[in-house]
Amino acid sequence: MRNLVDIHSHILPFIDDGSKSTEESIKILTELKNQGITDVFATPHFFPQIDDDGDFNENLQNSYTELKNAIKDKCVPNIHLGCELLYYYGISNSDSISQFCLGGSNFLLLELAPYKIKNKLLKDIISLRDEKKIIPIIAHIERYSYTKSFGKLLKFIKKEKILTQINASSLFERKSYKTIKKLIKKDIVSFIASDTHSIDERPPMMEEALTLIEQNFGQDVKLKLIGNSKSLLEKILEESKLNAKNKQLISN
């Protein structure tokens, strides 16, 4: 399989619990390339309760610049910047939420706090989408299956057509696989991503996961997930250009 897009990874060095060195980042990127990944979004964690957005953005740019300099002569996937933002109550009231979106677009990779999966969270997601025009993508949706509100969350996602992402590695964990099987049957899985953190402890498993999906759920499901990520990349690149142009017009 070739020409794949990975929308969730922790490949930037020194910034979160992902890669611990530039050398490890290069190893991860090389493995992603070997698995057919042409484009990868670097999405380090941002925890609003403890992280400062100014420091985060500075660290993000520094880490990205160091990695880009190290790979300039290497054949590795294109890197696009983003963030995995942990949900907090009132997120839809933030005037600076767009800084955390993928590649300067309006798409936001959103991690949920399991104990906060309540009506307030659901309303915030709707407000993000309808008022802020920020389109949330729920990260690793299968991880919330143990919460009491998981059924309610799935009904909400199905009704509101909220985008969701599953981790490739979860297909190889018994409990997570059962949940993903249920999610695929309900047709509420939008994307598959690596969520890779390291080359050893949480390596990229995109190729193996897509092969398993084709074997167990059919080629159509596999092609849909691949196509969705490609389409998302195209939309993000288009939105990024448009948003940059609008900012320039405003500044002028």
Position 200 pLDDT exceeds 70: yes
Q: How confident is the model at residue 248 (pLDDT cuts 50, 70, 90)?
A: low
Q: pLDDT tens digit string along 118-162? A: 999 999 999 999 999 999 999 999 999 999 999 999 999 999 999
Q: What pLDDT does residue 2 have?
A: 73
Average pLDDT over residues 186-192: 97
Q: What is the pTM of this model?
A: 0.95
Position 249 pLDDT exceeds 70: no
**Residue-number span of the structural domain to which 123 is assigned:** 4-251
Angle of the 174-185 helix axis to the 206-217 helix axis, nearest 10: 60
Position 251 pLDDT exceeds 80: no
| Cβ proximity of 142 and 166 under 8 Å | yes
Average pLDDT over residues 38-63: 95
Q: How confident is the model at residue 3 (pLDDT cuts 50, 70, 90)?
A: confident
Instruction: Share the mean pLDDT of the chain.
Output: 94
The DSSP secondary structure of the chain, one letter per residue, reads --SEEEEEE--STTSSSS--SHHHHHHHHHHHHHTTEEEEEE--EE-TTT--HHHHHHHHHHHHHHHHHHHTTS---EEEE--EEEP-TTGGG-SSGGGGSGGGSSEEEEE--GGG-SHHHHHHHHHHHHTS--EEEETTGGGGTTSTTHHHHHHHHHHHT-EEEEEGGGGGSHHHHHHHHHHHHTT---EEE--B--SSSS---HHHHHHHHHHHH-HHHHHHHHHHHHHHHHHHHHHHHHHHHHHHHHH-
| Cβ proximity of 165 and 193 under 8 Å | yes
Q: pLDDT tens digit string along 44-55? A: 999 998 999 999
Q: How confident is the model at residue 242 (pLDDT cuts 50, 70, 90)?
A: confident
Give the separation between CA 188 and CA 238, rounded to whole angstroms: 25
What CATH number does the domain containing 22 carry? 3.20.20.140
Total tally of structural domains belonging to the chain:
1
Average pLDDT over residues 50-70: 95
Average pLDDT over residues 89-101: 92
